[in-house]
Amino acid sequence: MGWVSYKNKKYRVLKEYTILCLSTIVLIVVMLIMPLLKADYNLTRLYLQGLIILSPVLVFGTERILISLKDKVDIIIACFIVVFFLNSSGVIAYSTSGIPQVMYSNNSRDYFLYYSTGGDVAAAQWLGSRQTSLTVYADQLASLKLMSYGGITNVQDEIYPSTITKYSYVYASSTNMKGFNLHYGNNGLFEYNFPINFLNSYKDTIYSNQNSKIYR
């Protein structure tokens, strides 16, 4: 009687787990088909949470497959490791899409956003050594460079023609000179057009190097 009860309980648990796995897969597929759901719940978060449920299936399924391929196990595992490394390192994405990756190209989005060139550092140090009581404008990421290399902490990050005052400094980093004006909001990082033409028309360039400029 106890054995029958144990078998029934085991079958019930297995059935519930199977339903849970299928529901997780369906939920991931639905989010892929309906991208608007990503605005309310991050797909990567759902994928990582789904791995907690699906990982036992992956382990046992892989074990059964490898058992049936006795002589080719080492080759299969080696190929899997190579593919996983190429994917996680960005090689596959770079070679198939042509989208620059920060590990392989100085033209990637992350490179423009976070890398401080020698010109950025020199311009920040130059402005830091000459700062007066005038207001300094820089976008949110460029303001971090001013803080780190120039010791300037009170920076206005609203760089738009309607907000820049007449008697003020504007620090344009290498990212800005490529046309990006960056601003963090509640939903992530926003990119606007940096007002280069406006600054060239209504401000004087008081410092310039290969990467950065300072206007007044």
Q: 51-60: per-residue pLDDT in tens?
A: 888 888 888 8
- pLDDT score, position 53: 87
- What's the chain's average pLDDT? 82
Percent of the chain with pLDDT over 90: 26
- pLDDT score, position 109: 65
Q: Between 48 and 170, whose confidence is greater?
A: 170
Of 21, 27, 18, give the one whose Cα is nearest residue 46: 27
Q: Is the pLDDT of residue 2 over 70?
A: no
Q: Quick count: other Cβ atoms within 10 Å of Cβ 110? A: 12
Between the ranges 36-40, 68-72, 140-144, where is the mean pLDDT highest? 140-144
Q: What is the dihedral of CA 133, 137, 141, 143, to 10 degrees?
A: 0
- pLDDT score, position 16: 85
pTM over 0.75: no
pLDDT tens, 119-130?
999 999 999 998
- pLDDT score, position 69: 73
Asked whether the beta carbons of 165 and 185 are under 8 A apart, the reply is no
pLDDT tens, 68-97?
777 777 787 788 888 888 887 777 777 777
Please, what's the largest Cα pairwise distance for the chain?
92
